[in-house]
Amino acid sequence: MTDTIATVRIATVNDAAVLASLRYRFRSETGTPLESREKFITRCRAWMTTHLRGDNRWFVWIAEKRDRICGHVWIQLVEKVPNPVDEAEQHAYVTNLYVIPEARGEGIGGALLSAALTWCRGAGVHSAFLWTRPESRVFYQRYGFLPSQELLALVVSQSGKANPTR
């Protein structure tokens, strides 16, 4: 896929099926799936369709080459409770940055992240945060991400899965 330059655009609800398929591909590269591809894609597509339909918290940028989606990045806006003092109230969670293996090394990941961060600046986001694997740290650091001394985390559940019965 190296013969054309990728274009980056905001995803729409019409992209949900391809994005769900790419999500399965992405996560299957890093671990063994616990559900079938078909079951996951059906579940993920429904979730993505809901969130791409004007959720106002989730935003997705996709990279396309020759009308084929070859990468994406997701941003979730995280609001804090309003403050009467000078303290930031809006942050962005960066997640699911993925470029298909055959399109890697062409600057597509950087183009996606740059587009998302440019949007964040225009939307008044104070800070962006993410979880990363060790092999991705250098990539994110090139865009200004640094380890935080302010953020604390606590694992409250081993599964981390939503519990729809609560």
pTM: 0.87
The 3-state DSSP class for residue 5 equals coil
Pairwise CA distance, residues 23 & 98, whole Å: 8
The 3-state DSSP class for residue 101 equals helix
pLDDT per residue as tens digits for the range 1-40: 445 589 999 999 999 999 999 999 999 988 899 999 999 9
Q: What is the pLDDT of residue 69?
A: 96
Q: What is the pLDDT of residue 87?
A: 80
Contacts of 45 (CB under 8 A, 6+ apart): 16, 17, 19, 20
pLDDT per residue as tens digits for the range 32-78: 999 999 999 999 999 999 999 977 899 999 999 988 999 999 999 99
Q: What is the pLDDT of residue 166?
A: 44
In Å, what is the CA distance from 80 to each residue of 13, 15, 26, 102, 162?
A: 27, 30, 30, 39, 22
Q: Give the neighbor-by-neighbor strand order of the sheet with 127-129.
A: 7-10, 58-65, 68-79, 90-99, 127-129
Q: Phi then psi for 29, rounded to 5 degrees?
A: -75, -20
pLDDT per residue as tens digits for the range 70-119: 999 999 999 988 888 888 889 999 999 999 999 999 999 999 999 999 99
Q: Which two tokens stand for residue 141?
A: 């650091």
Average pLDDT over residues 135-162: 86
Pairwise CA distance, residues 77 & 67, whole Å: 28
Q: What is the pLDDT of residue 160?
A: 62
Contacts of 10 (CB under 8 A, 6+ apart): 59, 60, 61, 62
Q: Which two tokens stand for residue 113?
A: 């992240």
Antiparallel, parallel or unpaired: β 58-65 and 7-10: antiparallel
The 3-state DSSP class for residue 128 equals strand
